[in-house]
Amino acid sequence: MEVMYNINYNEEMVVSLVKGNSKLGKKVFAFNLMPGDKPISTKDKGQLTNVWGTCSGCCDGCQNYCYAVRDTRRHHNAVIPSVGKNTVIMRHDMDKGFKQIKEALIKNKAKVLRLHSSGEIMNYDYLLHMVKLAVEMPDVLFYFYTKRFAFRVQYLKECGALPENLVCNISEWKGNTEGYQLDGLNKFVYDDGTDPALEKLVHCPAVDKKGNKTGVTCSECKRCFSGNKGIITAVYDH
């Protein structure tokens, strides 16, 4: 079966940012990459694209529940051309990709950027590029969630704290932080109702206990980008 979205690098490519949505709010931009750890596919259409996901094995256990993979399948005609292009650019020329993000933020006068509503930190060099971008743009707030804990721990050991305007939220998933020393780092914990202890935590106000959207946006709440303070936030199954 022919691949629907065969995306290959060319010099004319430019990264795409998403300007807000019902979850982020109108004032928060997002830069997204291909989710998962293999090309996106569906039962009826087969493999949809030649571009592999960026999660690289860190999504073991959660890929069957991943909203980014699900939404990429469901809205593939709108999502894959954009995140596929972003991913291809970053894999081919990371310097160019981050330069284009910076230019887009300046053009749009953006003040908040969520990195990776979809996708992940590609490698340690990619994290260093994120840090460089934050240092170059101190008036912009950057925040992200990650399951690639090894890169965050490596940076902590080699370089110390992240820039104040680059906020990292460690994304825990049913024990996937085991073996990592992550004390003092922000954590985002998945609450599927099986651990009573999680009920005591502050929960993301965007989702209620039944998994329904409440209408509260990230730009209204701001908890996840309020700084690297070691806060722990839970989110209900959704």
pLDDT in tens, 171-215: 887 667 665 677 788 988 888 888 898 889 999 999 998 889 899
Report how far residue 31's alpha carbon sits from residue 154's, in angstroms, rounded to the nearest whole number. 23
Q: What average pLDDT does the segment 29-52 reach?
A: 90
Question: Percent of the chain at pLDDT above 90?
Answer: 56
Q: Say what the pLDDT of residue 1 is.
A: 61
pLDDT in tens, 81-107: 999 999 999 999 999 999 999 999 999
Average pLDDT over residues 127-146: 97
Over residues 37-61, the mean pLDDT reads 83
Q: What SS3 class is residue 220? A: helix
Residue 61: what pLDDT?
60
- Mean local confidence (pLDDT), 14-35: 88
What separation in angstroms does the CA of 76 have from each of 2, 68, 228? 15, 11, 34
pLDDT at 175: 64
CB 142 within 8 A of CB 134: yes
Residue 62 has pLDDT above 70, yes or no: no
Residue 238 has pLDDT above 80, yes or no: no
Per domain, the residue ranges of the chain are: 18-236
Phi, psi torsion values for 91, nearest 5 degrees = -75, -30
- Encoded tokens for 178: 């085991």
The residue that leads in pLDDT, 159 or 181, is 159
Q: How far apart are CA 100 and CA 106, in angstroms?
A: 10
Q: Which residue has the higher pLDDT, 23 or 19?
A: 19
